[in-house]
Structure 1
């Protein structure tokens, strides 16, 4: 079985211990996320804590695609993290990625530094009375504007993929995670507003974020509000329709 091991130059000294962490991944019970597709666990090495994400094994066709035609999700996550940091955009520091191949990609892992964050964007969705909520929303809008100005189209810009750390009184730092779906390209206003759709914004959230984005971008607040609302509602309607169809299908069975 062929394998690829790439360790960031900042962490070369930990190479053998990182490989041991991959070998012991199944035995590790320190879960961060136990999803249907991907599993994320924590591991301590010396004084440092790292996050290991194992991606679901692809089907036969995609396994061959990832070996010969397209970069794996682990490799993309590693390379995109380096690129984001070079742009001054926060993401947990990339540490390493591992791939194993046998007639296609069998499994892959991405390792990054563990971030001790205070909340993620989902908290703002579910708790309208969260302290400093409007200010956090304004700063998320500014963070997203920074992404767009740097030609970063984060395709998974959803509530669970922005970690938030309190950095001072009324000040917050934002970290992108789950990086493998990203394009680096110029974005017009329409594409920028469409990029907000997965955040599942309420009317009040749109009011706050549209005003903040408009102030930074120079576009009219009314136009930004119109487009942000349009794409948010289209996405929400699509997701809700899928849920309804799934419930009906389950009842039939």
Structure 2
């Protein structure tokens, strides 16, 4: 077993040796699919545990000797950008026959009220424009810190109402780039929101104001990436016989 624990959460260290049984015992499932995410209580702390799907044989070799595992990357990235994410607690890699098998990433539970999806799909959602302005500011701060989330999609953007304002956190950190972002990078990062043209214009308008950029130029490029992403995703859906949407 390989692991690392955030020193701020030393009270959770004993969880590492029983992580597999504790994870199986929990019936509070937050997400189930390729990877499974559960909420558990341990030593008075609410935790979120993400269990990564066991890699195929080739990837077990890669993650054991040549690349960081997804669990370890999630932990390291969380520490690197701690202001913007639920606080990292630990990662654990369980090995079989010298190769990685199961792996887990543990972070503090962020008691959010909604994701950015809520106002994007409901035109009557309360405070939509205020949320969009706060979201634009959050995204601008990410970009100014050289943070590019490559899966900046609605379900990965959590929002908590806090004293009349909104606090944002991002999750699912396996696909991250850290670099000086170009203008194109910044506008491309909005594409996975699957926002309507009107909603995206509102978000980008505030982003342009904060960044001191020309509003029309930002909106034009952001919309171009937005439409391109929708065309590509809908094309793939049609190939699979799935319904498409705008």
Give the structure-1-normalised TM-score. Answer: 0.92
Give the structure-2-normalised TM-score. Answer: 0.94
Cα distance in 2 between the residues matched to 1:47 and 1:105: 30
Cα deviation for residue 46 of structure 1 reads 3.0
Point out where structure 2 has 5 or more consecutive residues left out of the alignment. Answer: none
Cα deviation for residue 182 of structure 1 reads 0.5
**Structure 1 residues 164-195: Cα deviation after superposition (integer angstroms, max 9, x where no partner):** 001122x1000111111101111110111111
Point out where structure 1 has 5 or more consecutive residues left out of the alignment. Answer: 249-253
- Name the CA shift for 1:18/1:106 in 2 (closer, same or farther; >3 Å): closer
Q: Is residue 209 of structure 2 the alignment partner of residue 215 of structure 1?
A: yes
2:149 corresponding residue in structure 1: 154
2:15 corresponding residue in structure 1: 17
CA RMSD of aligned residues (A): 1.3
2:39 corresponding residue in structure 1: 42
Cα deviation for residue 126 of structure 1 reads 1.5
The answer to whether the Cα contact below 8 Å between 1:210 and 1:224 also exists between their aligned partners in 2 is yes
2:237 corresponding residue in structure 1: 243
The answer to whether the Cα contact below 8 Å between 1:42 and 1:50 also exists between their aligned partners in 2 is yes
Which one of 150, 158, 167 corresponds to residue 163 of structure 1?
Answer: 158
Cα distance in 2 between the residues matched to 1:241 and 1:100: 39
Q: Is residue 119 of structure 2 the alignment partner of residue 124 of structure 1?
A: yes
Cα deviation for residue 101 of structure 1 reads 2.2
**Structure 1 residues 91-138: Cα deviation after superposition (integer angstroms, max 9, x where no partner):** 111011100223532111000011111100111222111100111111
Cα distance in 1 between the residues matched to 2:7 and 2:65: 26
Cα deviation for residue 23 of structure 1 reads 3.0
